[in-house]
């Protein structure tokens, strides 16, 4: 046995998995995308229950903290600020519409400003265009817009934190084509932003104009060309992987799958209507929803048989995933049960103008959702480290 062979035989084996954490800290890894989506959708559900501006601002603070603490360096992780811009636009549009289509002012309201009044015909009665605008009306419109803005930011946080391509792994086989289309649609905006930044940086290095209307043509044309090249490469890659091919599915199986999905969706709609309407028959409630869910599951399982996929290194669903998803679900449950606080505190009115209260239980629920910022493991920065190389001594 040579010296090299003896050295290799006497050397301890290098573990194939991730190295253990020796400093008491969690190792960086990517959280399961489904956990981030469950957390974000649950928080958006909690937002839909309240119109309290203090709680809504607290939700924005929680979203900003979690996104800042756990976002990666991927292109789609840089788009949360654009969702904030969209949220501000939604609030501004809501306030402008409320000011233009004013509903009048009472003697107890605080006069803010007046717009020119446009008389409307008789068949357009009930709607005023212009006129005096009160502070109460502006604050009420801003609060309504802020609630919708928070929901948009929740979806933006999920798009920022979760890898849309890795989310395709958890979709059923029957929804794979739809999931690919949604993933491509979600990835368009971050890729366009990245292309604009790259083209602007190249023009700056060439001492070209990077701002103003004259620079728009020089930036838009390369960005559109880059988008076209990306589309052609994506189409070639999808065609090489057999995307859109029916496989071994027969016409009868496709018809049965479509019928099951259609009946299942009708059952879910009927069940939701029965749960929301107290005067509906007993069948239009939980039984219809359970029957619709069962039909949808059957359709998904039958349609998934024709799609054969391999899953390389599946994303684990460990304790951090359950903790992150559970923090959002618990926050939504606490705001729906109305336990420990007055439900009127969730939807304060501005007539008369008063400062809204900050209920303790909903505040604690939203802060609990913010715990996802440290319950989730830190994200990976750069490529994952490979196994350590051991040099053999001659």
Same-domain check for residues 325 and 263: no
CA 72 to chain centre: 15
**Is a pLDDT exceeding 90 seen at residue 43?**
yes
CA distances from 225 to 60, 218, 228 (A): 36, 12, 5
- For residue 380, tell me if it sits in a domain: no
Same-domain check for residues 163 and 54: yes
SS3 111: strand
| pLDDT top residue among 32 and 330 | 330
Please give the pLDDT value at position 207.
Answer: 65
Lowest-pLDDT choice from 50-64, 95-109, 297-311, 321-335: 297-311
Cα 51 from Cα 117, distance rounded (Å): 30
Q: Identify whether the C-beta of residue 131 lies closer than 8 Å to the C-beta of residue 104.
A: yes
Same-domain check for residues 135 and 158: yes
Q: What is the domain extent for residue 293?
A: 249-305
- Please name which of 295, 292, 263, 306 lies closest in space to residue 177, comparing C-alpha atoms: 306
- For residue 390, tell me if it sits in a domain: no
Q: Identify whether the C-beta of residue 372 lies closer than 8 Å to the C-beta of residue 315.
A: no
Per 3-state DSSP, the chain is made up of helix, strand and coil in percentages (nearest 5) of: 60, 5, 35
Same-domain check for residues 74 and 146: yes
Please give the pLDDT value at position 81.
Answer: 84
- Please name which of 86, 77, 78 lies closest in space to residue 151, comparing C-alpha atoms: 86
pLDDT digits (tens, 9 = 90+) for 195-217: 777 777 777 777 666 566 666 66
Unique residue bearing structure tokens 């979760």: 162
Q: Identify whether the C-beta of residue 209 lies closer than 8 Å to the C-beta of residue 218.
A: yes
Same-domain check for residues 261 and 148: no
Cα 22 from Cα 379, distance rounded (Å): 18
Q: What is the pTM of this model?
A: 0.70
Cα 350 from Cα 109, distance rounded (Å): 10
What is the Rg, in whole angstroms, of the alpha carbon atoms belonging to the chain?
Answer: 27
- For residue 392, tell me if it sits in a domain: no
| pLDDT top residue among 21 and 310 | 310
Same-domain check for residues 124 and 256: no
- For residue 63, tell me if it sits in a domain: yes
Listing DSSP states for 129-159 in one string gives EEEEEEHHHHHHHHHHHHHHHHHHHHHHHHH
Using CB atoms within 10 A of its CB, is residue 185 exposed (0-12), middle (13-18) or buried (19+)?
Answer: exposed
SS3 117: strand
pLDDT digits (tens, 9 = 90+) for 305-351: 666 666 666 677 788 889 999 999 999 988 888 777 888 888 888 77
Same-domain check for residues 38 and 159: yes
Q: Half-sphere exposure of residue 260, counting CA atoms within 13 Å on the CB side?
A: 18
Give me the mean pLDDT over the 375-388 stretch. 65
- Please name which of 331, 317, 315 lies closest in space to residue 365, comparing C-alpha atoms: 331
Same-domain check for residues 51 and 156: yes
290 — pLDDT class (breaks 50, 70, 90):
confident
Same-domain check for residues 161 and 271: no
- For residue 184, tell me if it sits in a domain: no
Containing 310, the helix (H) or strand (E) segment is: none
Containing 12, the helix (H) or strand (E) segment is: none
Domain count, the chain: 2
- Cβ neighbour number for residue 242 with a 10 Å cutoff: 10
Cα 204 from Cα 163, distance rounded (Å): 31
- For residue 310, tell me if it sits in a domain: no
Same-domain check for residues 257 and 133: no
Cα 187 from Cα 75, distance rounded (Å): 9
Cα 299 from Cα 275, distance rounded (Å): 24
- The residue out of 283, 305, 327 marking a domain boundary is 305
Q: At CA 44, angle to CA 50 and CA 70, rounded to 5?
A: 125
CA 29 to chain centre: 20
Same-domain check for residues 142 and 259: no
Identify the bridge partners of residue 300 per DSSP, sorted by sequence position.
none
Cα 362 from Cα 377, distance rounded (Å): 26
pLDDT digits (tens, 9 = 90+) for 213-258: 666 667 777 877 777 777 777 767 766 766 655 556 677 777 787 7
- For residue 5, tell me if it sits in a domain: no
72 — pLDDT class (breaks 50, 70, 90):
confident
- For residue 370, tell me if it sits in a domain: yes
The encoded tokens of residue 219 equal: 């930036």
Same-domain check for residues 34 and 165: yes
pLDDT digits (tens, 9 = 90+) for 125-161: 666 777 778 888 888 889 989 999 999 999 989 888 8
Q: Mean pLDDT for the chain? A: 76
First to last CA, the chain: 13
Q: Identify whether the C-beta of residue 152 lies closer than 8 Å to the C-beta of residue 90.
A: yes
């Amino acid at each position: 046995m040579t010296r090299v062979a003896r050295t290799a035989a006497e050397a301890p084996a290098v573990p194939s998995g991730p190295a253990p954490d020796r400093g008491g800290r969690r190792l960086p890894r990517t959280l399961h995308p489904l956990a981030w989506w469950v957390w974000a959708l649950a928080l958006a559900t909690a937002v839909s229950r309240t119109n309290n501006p203090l709680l809504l601002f607290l939700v924005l603070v929680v979203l900003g903290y979690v996104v800042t603490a756990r976002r990666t360096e991927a292109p789609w992780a840089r788009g949360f600020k654009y969702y904030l811009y969209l949220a501000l636009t939604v609030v501004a549009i809501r306030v402008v519409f409320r000011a233009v289509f004013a509903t009048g002012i009472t003697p107890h309201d605080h006069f803010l400003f007046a717009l020119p009044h446009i008389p409307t015909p008789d068949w357009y009665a009930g709607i005023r265009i212009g006129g005096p605008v009160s502070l109460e009306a502006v604050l009420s419109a801003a609060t309504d817009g802020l609630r919708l803005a928070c929901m948009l930011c929740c979806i933006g946080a999920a798009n920022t934190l979760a890898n849309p391509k890795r989310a395709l792994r958890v979709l059923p086989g029957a929804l794979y084509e739809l999931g690919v289309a949604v993933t491509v649609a979600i990835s368009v905006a971050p890729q366009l932003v990245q292309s604009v930044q790259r083209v602007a940086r190249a023009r700056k290095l060439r001492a070209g104009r990077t701002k103003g209307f004259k620079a728009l043509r020089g930036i838009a044309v390369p960005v559109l060309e880059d988008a076209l090249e990306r589309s052609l490469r994506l189409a070639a890659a999808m065609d090489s992987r057999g995307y859109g091919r029916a496989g071994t599915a027969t016409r009868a199986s496709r018809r049965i799958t479509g019928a099951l999905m259609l009946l299942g969706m009708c059952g879910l709609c009927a069940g939701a209507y029965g749960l929301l309407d107290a005067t509906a028959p007993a069948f239009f409630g939980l039984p219809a929803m359970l029957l619709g869910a069962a039909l949808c599951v059957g359709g998904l399982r039958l349609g998934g048989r024709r799609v054969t996929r391999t899953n390389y290194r599946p994303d684990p669903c460990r304790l951090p995933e359950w903790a992150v998803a559970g923090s959002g679900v618990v926050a939504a449950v606490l705001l729906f049960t109305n336990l420990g606080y007055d439900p009127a505190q969730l939807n304060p009115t501005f007539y008369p103008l008063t400062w809204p209260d900050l209920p303790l239980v909903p505040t604690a629920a939203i802060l609990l959702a913010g715990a996802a910022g440290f319950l989730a493991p830190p994200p990976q920065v750069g490529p994952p480290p490979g196994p350590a190389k051991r040099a053999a001594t001659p």
